[in-house]
Structure 1
Amino acid sequence: MKLKSINAVKKNDVLAKPIYNDEGQVLLNASVKLSESMISRLQDKGVSFVYLEDPDTDDIFVNDTLPPEKKAKAVKTINKSFKTIAYRISEGKNLDIDDLTVDFASVVEEILNTVTTEKDAITMLSNVMNYDSYVYQHSLSVTVYAIALGKKKGLNMKQLKELGLGAMLHDVGKMGIPIEVLNKKQKLTDEEFDTIKQHAELGFDMLRKSKTLPLLAAHCAYQHHERLDGSGYPRKIGEKDIHLYGQILAVADVFDAVTSHRVYRSAMLPHEGLELLQAGSGTLFNRELVDLFAKTVAIYPVGLEVVLSDGSAGVVKMNNPLIPDRPVIKVLRDAHGQRFDEPYELDLTERLNITIVKCEALIESKTYES
């Protein structure tokens, strides 16, 4: 199978993996031949990438970090709990969330059990991203990324649980933001952006009053938009005042935000998201954490079509867990675009003089330089 941008998919392309909705139900099954109306509907649903059948890559298989069933169960739990919080806010009711923490803790435990035993690089490409569920999907993905990064940093299990709860609830303050501002498709006004920024303090105020959540979980909500150089919000504090969890959350939050489809822009590929983090490494984001994150996530997802520095082209067949930016490539074409009668595998950890220079399965059918 190969990975394609939904905007590069053509009529009669055949799905290699099912497309799921937030309930874990299959929208379109594997082996379905796509029509123009199906492609349009997937675009409207916010799908950014799909896996397609391809005779040249029928030996390439993709394993999700979180299976669709587990992912759907987790998102439903987050969805239900966040909506309960939003209802209590709208009705002016007591906002005590201690009755919900068991549900959040169970999701974090499930992620811990999966991520801490995962040997492959983390892949969280979303099958479906409905506009009204972005916060819930985002909360789950950020939790996975944060726990994986925390593990790579060497945090113990108690710390990973604290970090996981903080990650899952880092955006809970958005339940207090007017929905018309939160989901606005057009560019936000300065006043609306100031309203959005209030979610960090709102979340902190909600969580710090909990009798069952660790106080550090509240600080995750408070600090995930702070930046090392003091340019973040809400307090514009610098590196020495930002807790390690807050610095981990900053990396995980930005990466998932830019690699997810939003109502106002399309998703970046993982390597583009990493480049954005690296551009701010040392000034906005903790340099060590960005470097560790680069070794944690699948920068080039399995199935992605790539062009190499020697001019040859192929598809990512597998990731190297210790060096995710040097995957194994199934090379299909030579530098002149001629197909090989017998494609071959190239492990980039063994050929350091060859690099990935372009990725072909891209948004709006563009080719982005690495």
Structure 2
Amino acid sequence: MSKRTAKMRLVSIYNCRSGMILGKAVYHENGKMLISNGMELTDRFINRLNEQGVTHLYILDPLTDDIVIDETIPFELRTRTIQMIQTLFKNIHEVKGKRKLSDLIRISDFQKSIQNIISLLQSNKRVVDLLTHIHVKDNYLFSHSFNVMIYTSALAVEKGLPSEKIYEIAVGCLLHDIGKLLLPEEILHKPGRLTNEEFAQIKEHTNIGFELLRKEWDIPLLAAHCAFQHHEKWDGTGYPRGLKGEEIHPYARIMAVGDVFDALTTHRVYRRAMLPHEAMELIFSETNLHFEQGIVELFRKKIAIYPIGVTVKLSTGETGVVVAYNQHCIDRPIIRIFKGESGEDLKSLKEIDLSKELSVMIVECDAIL
């Protein structure tokens, strides 16, 4: 599959309509194509994808026929890595954590995939945008673990950490929720609000994960501490130990932001997924409470909050589509305007660079046309 795809606009599943033409195929996480690009959408397809947690689709649109969308991680590498996570997690669940990880998966293959991803992030330090991956997921835990690894590893690269430390934190991210595999499924997958007793059980996954990982010779001990500390908070109100500020390991501080961001931007049975800019605002509101300020600021510089292809409305009243990032100022992208201030279709398109037009703001994202 080609790394680049063009001629498309990113549309919320809630704004998709029968008759639209799919611009980018939808895959299952196992790599199997579910709907090919070029297919005409029907209400049945749209409803089914919504039920399966798909939040956005790329739709063919002549307004954006020259837009090129880069995938942060190549399709094949993502699929292969998630399949390994899935195999490992299912095996751990079946044996109830009573066997070594090296007995359940080829650790060398696991290490190779992680190192390939790290090399990719180091060689191309572009903005991270995971909305380019349109997949139907078997299990939230698999894709969440992968996404947290990408977000966190990208921040570790941006911070200039050496490769061996990035590897440690990447392994820790992939396995940070491993303790959940030994929790009762009826609690783990409960769609409603948890009772205090059930939440107390959920919180035990940090201790369980740490105990599982610290005994593994092939897993860095600091990766085990990622599982142990990823729910600690900067102000000391987290768990399991209520660590505060710099008492929390730097890996866990970096990882906490990616963990929450991915959770907020993923569809769950009990709530609708937030758009990246909405999740970022919530994370900013938790600066120096849940998160370390410097990490939040770095995250905002690295993560695309207005994905290429998404429709936006500006403070001028005009409507357009994001066509490019400004690497030096990613929250001020380049917009192609196709509707004027009164909502009229423009005879000729124009583009505006928000990094230069500072008085113009994005006031609505994923705008309905």
Task: Work out whether the TM-score is over 0.5.
Answer: yes
**Counterpart Cα distance in 2 of 1:271 and 1:55:** 26
**Equivalent residue, structure 2, for 1:65:** 72
- Structure 2 residue 102 is the aligned partner of structure 1 residue 95: no
**Equivalent residue, structure 1, for 2:325:** 319
Greater shift, 266-275 or 108-117, is seen at 108-117
Long gaps (5+) in structure 1: none
What is the aligned-residue RMSD (CA, Å)? 1.6
**Equivalent residue, structure 2, for 1:253:** 259
Counterpart selection for 1:83 from 76, 90, 94: 90
**Equivalent residue, structure 1, for 2:5:** none
Counterpart selection for 1:219 from 209, 220, 225: 225
SS at match of 2:322: strand
1:33-182 equivalence runs, <5 A: 33-89=40-96, 94-99=98-103, 100=105, 101-125=107-131, 126-130=133-137, 132-182=138-188
SS at match of 2:358: coil
**Counterpart Cα distance in 1 of 2:261 and 2:337:** 29
Counterpart selection for 2:287 from 281, 284, 295: 281
Instruction: Output one character per residue of 1:298-323: Cα deviation in whole Å (capped at 9) or x when no partner.
Output: 11000111111222110000112222
**Which amino acid in 1 is paired with 2:75?**
P
**Equivalent residue, structure 1, for 2:18:** 11
**Counterpart Cα distance in 2 of 1:352 and 1:175:** 48
SS at match of 1:62: strand
Note if contact 1:45-1:128 (Cα within 8 Å) is conserved in structure 2. no
- Structure 2 residue 29 is the aligned partner of structure 1 residue 22: yes
**Counterpart Cα distance in 1 of 2:141 and 2:113:** 16
Moved over 3 A (4+): 98-101
**Counterpart Cα distance in 1 of 2:191 and 2:351:** 43
**Counterpart Cα distance in 1 of 2:326 and 2:184:** 44
Deviation of the 1:106 alpha carbon: 2.2
Long gaps (5+) in structure 2: 1-7
Deviation of the 1:129 alpha carbon: 4.1
Instruction: Output one character per residue of 1:340-367: Cα deviation in whole Å (capped at 9) or x when no partner.
Output: 1111111111212222111135xxx7x9
Percent identity, aligned pairs only?
Answer: 40
Deviation of the 1:48 alpha carbon: 0.7
**Counterpart Cα distance in 1 of 2:27 and 2:240:** 36
**Counterpart Cα distance in 2 of 1:360 and 1:336:** 18
**Equivalent residue, structure 2, for 1:329:** 335
SS at match of 1:317: strand
State TM-score, norm by structure 1.
0.93
Number of residue equivalences:
359
Counterpart selection for 2:208 from 193, 202, 213: 202
**Counterpart Cα distance in 1 of 2:58 and 2:35:** 12
Greater shift, 352-361 or 19-28, is seen at 352-361
**Equivalent residue, structure 1, for 2:195:** 189
**Counterpart Cα distance in 2 of 1:264 and 1:105:** 35
State TM-score, norm by structure 2.
0.94
Note if contact 1:120-1:319 (Cα within 8 Å) is conserved in structure 2. no
SS at match of 2:302: coil
Instruction: Output one character per residue of 1:45-85: Cα deviation in whole Å (capped at 9) or x when no partner.
Output: 11111111112222223221122222111110100011111
SS at match of 1:194: helix
Note if contact 1:4-1:49 (Cα within 8 Å) is conserved in structure 2. yes
Note if contact 1:153-1:289 (Cα within 8 Å) is conserved in structure 2. no
Counterpart selection for 1:263 from 265, 269, 274: 269
Greater shift, 199-208 or 55-64, is seen at 55-64
The structure whose RCO (Cα within 8 Å, separation 6+) is larger is: 1
Deviation of the 1:104 alpha carbon: 3.0
Note if contact 2:49-2:136 (Cα within 8 Å) is conserved in structure 1. no
SS at match of 2:135: coil
**Equivalent residue, structure 2, for 1:2:** 9
Instruction: Output one character per residue of 1:82-115: Cα deviation in whole Å (capped at 9) or x when no partner.
Output: 11111121xxx63322444334322211211222
Greater shift, 62-71 or 137-146, is seen at 62-71
Greater shift, 75-84 or 261-270, is seen at 261-270
SS at match of 1:331: strand
**Counterpart Cα distance in 1 of 2:182 and 2:327:** 40
Greater shift, 21-30 or 186-195, is seen at 186-195
SS at match of 1:162: helix
